[in-house]
Each structure stands twice: as C-alpha cells, then as structure tokens.
Structure 1
Amino acid sequence: MHRAESRDNMLVKSYLLLPMILSAFERDSAILSTHLRTPAPYLEVLGTAAAVATIDLRDVRSEMRRRGIKVYEQNRLNTGIEARFICRGYHERMLLLNDIVASQAAIHMRRYLGLDISSFKSYEEQYQIK
C-alpha cells in the first residue's frame, strides 16, 4: 500500500487550513470595521496577513499540482475535517481533528500577523519524531 510522504501530507494540511485562516481574517476584518472607532491600522494588518496567506495558498496549490496531488473530497465531521485525495495515482485519506485544526490555525494566524511563534513547538519537536 502506498502512503503519501510527509511533505505531501503537509501540503494537503495547508490546503485545508489556509482557506479557513483566510475566512477568519475576513470575518475578523468585518467585525473590527464595525466595532472600532479607528479600525484602519487593524484592518491594514489583517489585510497584509490575508495577502500573504493567499500567496501561500497559491504556492501550495501549485506545488500540489507539480507533485500530482489532488483533493477531491472534503467533509466537515463532528470530530474534524476529513479529506480524500489522490497522491500520484493512489487514493489517500486525512482526518484533521477539530483541536488540531484550531491550534494549527491559531499558530499560522499568529505567524501571518507578525507575532512571535518561537514558543510553539513543531509536531516533530513535540513528539520527538526524526
């Protein structure tokens, strides 16, 4: 049985997370613009973060095409997000639990907003995977 490489899985994970991050930035921009007296600086920061995330999503899609990866089904479950994808001709499945989605999205959002994320360990560091 073929298993997608870790780089392939990271691309699919990014492909699933980035649209949610962009939606969160859009939602937060709408809320800030109506509830703050001087929203312009905050909206500018969110706009810049969203622009960088959009570029990253474009790059992820391009790399997925180059590597022969295509997500053909996404389902929102009570426990998380399930994705089915083809990786170089083999069908694969990925399940991202809600807790993982929330924590990973929060870390990515902090990075896009220019905040320090050095205190967050990577998955490999956290579980001592080599």
Structure 2
Amino acid sequence: MSKLDGNERWKSKMLLTEHQEQYEQRHAHTAKVPPSRPTEAELIMIRDYILLPYMLSMVEKSLDDIEHRANLLKPLYLMAGKVVRSKISEDLYLLRRELAKRNIRVFRDEQEDLIVYHRFICRGYEDRLGLVRDVVRSEISVRLSRYLKEIASRLASGE
C-alpha cells in the first residue's frame, strides 16, 4: 500500500489513465491470490525463530554467571560464550530477514500449562504453533551442542 492510497486528491493528478489501469490490475491480481500454508521448511524456520531468543538469553545468563565467578579458564569460557552469542545473534538476524522476505510474521500468543503458543501469519494464512517446554529444552540443548562443536572444531584446527 502506498502513501497515496485512499487519498482521492492524488488519484487523477499523478497517474495517467493507462498507469492507473496497470496499478488496479496488479492489485486485483494480488488480492485474488489465496493464502498459502507454510511449507515444512518455513515451519522449521518459524520454530527456530522462536527458539533462538531463548538460546540467546540462556547464553547471556551463562556469561553473566561466568563473569562473577573465579575460574582459571574464565577467559576461555568467556571467549567461547561470546562466540556462541554472536553466532546465535547472526543466525537470528538472517532468519528474521528470510522470514520478512517470505512475508511471514510471528507473534507470541499465550502459555498454557507446559505449552508455549505462538501465532504466525504466512502470506495471509494464519495459524498457531505450540511448543512443549520439554521439546524446547531438548532442541535448545541439541542446538547449543552444535554451536559448541563448531567452536571446538575451530580450536582444534587452529583458526
């Protein structure tokens, strides 16, 4: 929707008739497209979009705990934690861009018992995705171990 939509003053002064017809045809075509359900890959992206902020807050809390404790390997733990934090932030940024490009929006909805629901809108199709807390914990654990393995392989190879 442009800034001039709904403003009748500009309707005839700015557009030639043929341009106005093209504009109306383009909008009539997009209005007729039915909402499309998200693909499996898009549902995984939505799930990751929900999980990554939880992971980021867990890593932040862990970094705060490490900061306030005395440990011989404290600098190493802090460096590894900061690398994980930056990798999670980068993944979240890329995921946000991809979801925006695919016209998918995600909203936190509600929490009932042990299930956290998020509402999403995918190209006009609206639905809810519920994640069980235990599944969220296990998925976060798997993801964090994947990030840590990546760091360990970097350290082992000498990068």
- TM > 0.5 fold call: yes
* Higher Cα radius of gyration: 2
Aligned to 2:67: 33
Query: 1:113 is paired with a residue of what secondary structure?
Result: helix
| Alpha-carbon distance, 1:108 to partner | 0.6
TM-score (structure 2 length as normaliser): 0.68
Aligned to 2:116: 81
Could you tell me whether the CA contact under 8 Å between 2:36 and 2:122 is conserved in 1? no
Aligned to 2:44: 10
More helix by share: 2
Query: 1:81 is paired with a residue of what secondary structure?
Result: strand
CA deviation map 1:5-30 (0-9, x unaligned)? 11111111011100000100000011
Question: C-alpha distance in 2, partners of 1:67/1:115?
Answer: 29
Supply the RMSD in Å over aligned alpha carbons: 1.8
> Does 2:54 correspond to 1:20?
yes
- Structure 2 portions without partners, runs of 5+: 1-34, 152-159
| Alpha-carbon distance, 1:45 to partner | 0.2
Q: What is the aligned residue count?
A: 116
* Structure 1 residue runs of 4 or more that deviate by more than 4 Å after TM superposition: none
> Does 2:142 correspond to 1:107?
yes
Q: Which amino acid aligns with 2:90?
A: I
Calculate percent identity across the aligned residue pairs.
Answer: 28
Q: Which one scores higher on RCO, CA 8 angstroms, separation ≥ 6? A: 1
